[in-house]
Amino acid sequence: MGDKSKPKITKIPPLYQFLFGGSAGMMATCIVQPMDLLKTRMQLLGPGAKDYTMVKMAKEVVAKEGVAGLYNGISAALFRQATYTTGRLGSFNAITDMYTKSHGTPNFGMKMLIGMIAGGIGALVGNPAEVALVRMTADGRLPPEKRRNYAHVFNALGRMIGEEGAGTLLRGVSATVSRAAVVNGAQLGSYAQAREMLLPTMGDTMLLHFTASMIAGLITSASSLPLDKVKTKVQNAAKGGEQIGMVGVIMEVLKKEGILGFWSGFLPTYLKIGPHTVFTFIFLEQINAAYFRAVNA
């Protein structure tokens, strides 16, 4: 029984907010990781992508690498959540606090702008994990003699530094930061708008959160996938690939795949972003509830 004379704690300390947010993101990643792997593989097919569906790619991965092959790169995906999500949330809260002290509570437009800036900062922090994730999820599509065979994310980071130089950890960082800004802006804006429009008919229920998240995921996927594809191809390049750069990759995709090539892997991207938002929200609510139960016991 808790002490009824003791006031209940209703706010979560900032540090715990970062930890809980990162933890929720990592839990959600464990569920949607196969979609991220399929998206990466399809993005790297080049002109051959038009002959592949998500189901065909999934069958090919399972046939060659087993069901566990769908989780190649999971350590890098979890490390990415631990760095990118924590950095994004930390930056968002810090910038929001600074703005509030000087100008008062930010309006919706300012929140969206802060979210874009925070997303870019988080992406900068998480770029090394992003490079490792792209390479680990792409490895199985290469001939055995060309595979990197990273054992785990820290093995990947260490080998990249030793074999290609520390600069490799920032491979594709401009595309990563640009994509993160677009994702955060699109996701925040579209989720808020969908939630506002659906609230009168659906009420503030889990179904509302799910539907708004899937709508936001659709818009976010469509708007961010071209930058995601450029980032993926730059980061997956072998030593010397940094000389290609974003412009070179864009011209290569346009020449070999056409404008629609920037949206290859759209379905697995959407099936990752939408559910990831939903599961992150569900897990975060459960973690927060458990925290309040513990501190107010």
Structure tokens at 2: 């808790």
**DSSP 8-class letter at 172:** T
Sign of CA dihedral 259, 265, 266, 272: negative
CA distance 220 to 216: 6
CA distance 223 to 137: 23
> What is the model's pLDDT at position 112?
80
Start-to-end CA span in the chain (Å): 6
> What is the model's pLDDT at position 26?
92
> What is the model's pLDDT at position 75?
92
Mean pLDDT of each 10-residue bin along the chain, 297 residues long = 66 82 89 87 74 86 92 91 83 82 84 86 90 86 85 93 91 84 78 84 85 85 83 69 67 84 81 80 84 89
> What is the model's pLDDT at position 242?
46
> What is the model's pLDDT at position 198?
92
Closest CA to 26 of 80, 103, 97: 80
Structure tokens at 117: 């800036």
> What is the model's pLDDT at position 159?
94
- The count of other CB atoms within 10 Å of the CB of residue 285 is 14
Domains of the chain, each with CATH number or no CATH: 14-289 (1.50.40.10)
> What is the model's pLDDT at position 71?
93
Prediction pTM value = 0.70
> What is the model's pLDDT at position 241?
45
